Amino acid sequence: MDAQNLTNQPTKTRFQYDDDEKAETIDEVATESSNLENDTAMGEPEGSLVASDEKTSADYYFDSYSHFGIHEEMLKDVVRTKTYQNVIYKNSFLFKDKIVLDVGCGTGILSLFCAKVGAKHVYAVECSSMADTAQEIVKHNGFSNVITILKGKIEEIELPVAQVDVIISEWMGYFLVYENMLETVLYARNKWLVQDGLVMPDKASLYLTAIEDADYKDEKIEFWNSVYGFDMSCIRKQSIMEPLVDIVDQKQIVTNSQLLKTMDISKMEVGDASFTVPFKLVAERDDYIHALVAYFDVSFTKCHKLMGFSTVSVDGLNKGEGPKSRATHWKQTVLYLEDVLSICQGEALTGTLTVESNKKNPRDVDITLNYVFNGGHCKASRTQYYRMR
Ligand SMILES: C[S@@+](CC[C@H](N)C(=O)[O-])C[C@H]1O[C@@H](n2cnc3c(N)ncnc32)[C@H](O)[C@@H]1O
């Protein structure tokens, strides 16, 4: 999920992704798809909503999920979408004859997967006007009797049932928690999930590592120090505060990776998405550190065999260990440091990272980084503030 891409997220690509791996085929489960096409409970499009062909950029600015482009990007993220499909198709026992709630259904893709493996009923909630399109898609595919699209915010809609057996959602944002949709999933869980019901995915973990990135730091951050001979370093201050969403080349990684936080979506409280954690990154070679890099993974632990995916990619941070994985649309999140740290193999960069949703706009994420480095060739200690918006 990344509404940022349609607004102004300063992304860049250092590495051209060679899309040679076509979506692998998946074992289709033989389930009956109904051809009944009775319209379901979705309300009529509200008068205030603008028809998609009449939308202006202002409409999209405030409701980026109503444009098909962002859904196209998510659906074409094969790591993401195939994992959900595999989880559902290969674990149909978790969905068959169950009442499912799809939190933020977008085009309805996850609901369709669930309906296909025999869910008793799927309530698919979507707050953007993509709900109208999802309704059309559900009807075209003959699932109107199984999937009910409900247009509105989870926090405001009424569900026709008191409880659901399974909650499925793709809520993850850049840096895992950007956009704060996890809170919406927890709200739905607390309100409707039956005792011992399933939340899918049910685990999410955030990791940190450190990279050498002189060229790009110069190009993006130090650039502002002298622009055609003029000092624009006031923009440098803003620029360094913005985490950069991008694919990092594995060759840039200087230290080990550290697990910062694992969230148990089935048990955690809303406040648990804000946290302060210590870290210790140990250099694997002599090099310079220009930035820290965060990435995440999610898992579905209730599957017959553990399933999930990581935003580490073979192009990015995966050093070839474990199964090959492709870059996801979440890429990685780069936090540039004020200091350039000359680090020797075996030396450690230590500190704490605080992650919290912004008080004024809870969709934004405030990140506070404290670091201390006492190396043989270099010493530094600093607090830096970042804001993902
Ligand atoms: C990341 S997209 C996932 C869409 C779809 N489930 C998929 O996997 O392709 C998240 C969707 O949740 C919707 N959404 C976000 N917050 C919501 C809320 N509070 N209530 C209902 N829908 C919400 C967004 O409009 C968006 O379409």
DSSP string, 219-245: HHTGGGG-BTTB--HHHHHHHHHS-EE
Contact between residue 129 and residue 49 where contact means Cβ atoms under 8 Å apart: yes
Low pLDDT (below 70) residues in the chain: 1-62, 314-325
Q: Is 104 in the pocket of ligand 1 (CB under 6 A)?
A: yes
Check if 24 is active-site.
Answer: no
Ligand 1 centre distance from Cα of residue 105 (Å): 5
Distance CA(332)–CA(338), nearest Å, equals 19
Of these residues, 126, 170, 183, 347, which one is catalytic? 170
Task: Report pTM.
Answer: 0.86
pLDDT one-digit tens code per residue, 35-92? 223 333 443 333 334 455 566 555 555 578 999 999 999 999 999 999 999 999 999 9
Distance CA(132)–CA(260), nearest Å, equals 39
pLDDT one-digit tens code per residue, 192-209? 999 999 999 999 999 999
Q: Is 184 in the pocket of ligand 1 (CB under 6 A)?
A: yes
pLDDT score at 57:
59
Preceding amide of 201 cis, omega within 30: yes
pLDDT score at 58:
56
Q: Is 260 in the pocket of ligand 1 (CB under 6 A)?
A: no
Q: Which atom of ligand 1 is nearest to the CA of 126?
A: 22
Nearest CA to ligand 1 atom 27: 106
Identify the H or E element spanning 136.
helix 130-140
Number of alpha helices (DSSP H) and beta strands (DSSP E) in the chain? 8, 15
pLDDT score at 54:
60
* Residue 207 burial (C-beta neighbours within 10 Å; 0-12, 13-18, 19+): buried
Ligand 1 centre distance from Cα of residue 382 (Å): 37
Are β-strands 275-282 and 307-310 bridged in parallel, bridged antiparallel, or unpaired? Answer: unpaired
Q: Is 154 in the pocket of ligand 1 (CB under 6 A)?
A: yes
